[in-house]
Chain A
Amino acid sequence: MPNVLPPEFSDLEPFAAWAVHGEKARYEKRLASTMDELQEFYDAAFARIDEALAYLERFAVEDLSEEGKRLLWLYCALCTVAFPVEAWRQPRVPDSGPSSIDAVSEPLV
């Protein structure tokens, strides 16, 4: 498979499936994952967060390359999984039962 992230983040390519557009899609992936999977992604992405922030800071959102957009979305997904990993210790919000809150419109990138 060709790389989807900027070349300097090739070590994160195994997690490219997290680099998807839309909070809804990222949240669904979180709910479909085990804690081990979330932890593994979190650890890998968090280890490169300083470099990623430095990269993202260099671009206006509308000037991001396709790879740059993927990197942004991958780190948006890190936000999505940070709650289970850092706070909840489970993929779902505790005591949230069947309730859901869905994104109905978001920025294009």
Chain B
Amino acid sequence: MAHFEKPAEGSWTEHYPELGTGPVSYDDSITPEFYESEREAIFRKTWLNVGRVEQLPKVGSYFTKEIDAAGASIVVVRSAKDEIRSFYNICRHRGNKLVWNDYPDREVSGFCRQFTCKYHAWRYALDGECVFVQQESEFFDFDKKDWGLAPIRTEVWEGFIFVNFDPDTETSLHDYMGSIGKGIEGYPFHKLTQVHRYRAEIGANWKLFIDAFAEFYHAPILHGGQYEPEERAKMGDVGYEAIQYAFDGPHASISSWGVIAPPKDPSMVKPIERKLRSGLFGPWDAPDLGMKELPPGVNPTRHRNWGIMSYVFFPNFMILIWKPNWVLTYHYWPTSHNTHVFEGTCYFAPPKNARERLAQELAVVSFKEYGLQDGNTLEATQKTLESNTPVKTFPLNDQEVVLRHLHHHARQYVAHHRAAGGQA
């Protein structure tokens, strides 16, 4: 019944022997203790994507990011030297939060020439240097040059801005992204500037929500109601198989089948999709992005029925590249062991006319309908996993190999951290 060839070992999972094939425990997803270790071992040690360069269009453009998992608020800015820099969002004088409006816990963005503290008006240049101190002569043994903003390591990969809270990290972002990242380099992300951003507070562990987006085994069942009944029955019979799974270090990619944009037979899809020529897989009429060829890591087997690539960049960043030339990203920002903030962002080529804008809208709202089903299902999962039950381990099938891999690496990071004497 296999439609796509698996590795010689007979399964994707066995191709990576360190993953094992036994049932998996989710005790990495249900306790405050494990989450505290993850904060130290993962979120303060790895490269985290915080946005894209297009969010900082000119010198002085900035945005803030609340990263609870790393215990930090940060400000990301385009400096006078036209570099992307990040700093802890804290005034060096007496610790006031430096950049915020009205509500200190909300993220903000904007443009400025300098950062000015709301408290006593110390000022910082865009490169973090302290350039003005009110009544400077009242301070003792004082040189304001010593009191610049605390920087955070910041690097850019393919227009995606990453930070790393570990000042001692020896791994560059480029190396961290590994062969999975390398395989996408050159994709024209910078041409996809029509952006829709979504945010949700989810009552589930961050890894459980990645799990939901890292397997499609659930799609014909949980999301079956979105299809015309006949198509739904067909999908139920066939189930789901990926064309290819690939892993490098903690990162993963999934290449999936998908001939639904446009569908082979229009009666497969809902009436609005037929009219707008769009749906969950995106507008059917792909914009020309000037690509001669897809990068090697996008549809790696060059399968003619390829439809979508999903990349999981450890720990909490996913990129989805859809055949009709648009991109979706997911971020999962933990706020406790059983809550996180989910961000879903759709990137399209600017629409050439208002009809194309409408086709994009249908893709965006379709993403939201699916996400709502996944989100609520996962809140129930979290509660039952935390409940007093004898059910402790769970079998994962070969199409769930990315989940197995994600939890494996989260545990590995924590185990190494604890072995090295990490406190949390």
Contact = CB atoms under 8 A, between A and B. Distances in A.
A60 B365 contact: no
Interface string A42-59: 000010011001001111
A14 interface: no
B196 A57 contact: no
A34 B266 CA distance: 29
B199 interface: yes
A96 B365 contact: no
A107 interface: yes
Contacts of B357: 56, 61, 72, 107, 109
Interface in A58-109: 58-61, 64, 68, 72, 75-76, 78-80, 82-83, 86-88, 93-107, 109
A21 B366 CA distance: 18
Contacts of A94: 225, 373
B233 to A, nearest CB: 15
Interface size grouping (class) on chain B: 35 or more
A87 B200 CA distance: 23
Interface string A25-52: 0010000000000000000001001100
B373 A57 contact: no
Given A72-B357, A82-B270, A49 B275 contact: yes
B375 A99 contact: yes
A57 B275 CA distance: 13
B135 interface: no
Nearest to B227: A87
A23 interface: yes
A80 B225 CA distance: 16
A103 B198 contact: yes
Contact of B194 (A58, A64, A107): A107
Interface stretch (B35-43, B316-324, B347-355): B347-355
Contacts, number: 115
**Interface majority SS (helix, strand, loop, mixed), chain B:** helix
B368 A79 contact: no
A104 B197 contact: yes
Contact of B199 (A78, A97, A102, A109): A102
Interface size grouping (class) on chain A: 35 or more
Interface in B49-92: none
A88 B270 CA distance: 12
B371 A58 contact: no
Given A56-B358, A57-B355, A61-B357, A93 B369 contact: yes
Contacts of B366: 83
B365 A79 contact: yes
Interface in B334-359: 342, 344, 351-355, 357-358
A86 B202 CA distance: 27
Contact of A104 (B198, B276, B358, B368): B198
B191 to A, nearest CB: 16
A20 B272 CA distance: 20
Contacts of B361: 23, 76, 79
A60 to B, nearest CB: 6
Given A53-B355, A83-B369, 7 more contacts: A59-B354, A61-B353, A72-B354, A86-B270, A87-B226, A101-B371, A107-B195
Interface of A: 23, 27, 46, 49-50, 53, 56-61, 64, 68, 72, 75-76, 78-80, 82-83, 86-88, 93-107, 109
14 contacts: A23-B361, A23-B368, A56-B355, A58-B353, A60-B353, A68-B354, A76-B358, A79-B365, A94-B225, A99-B372, A99-B375, A101-B198, A102-B198, A105-B195
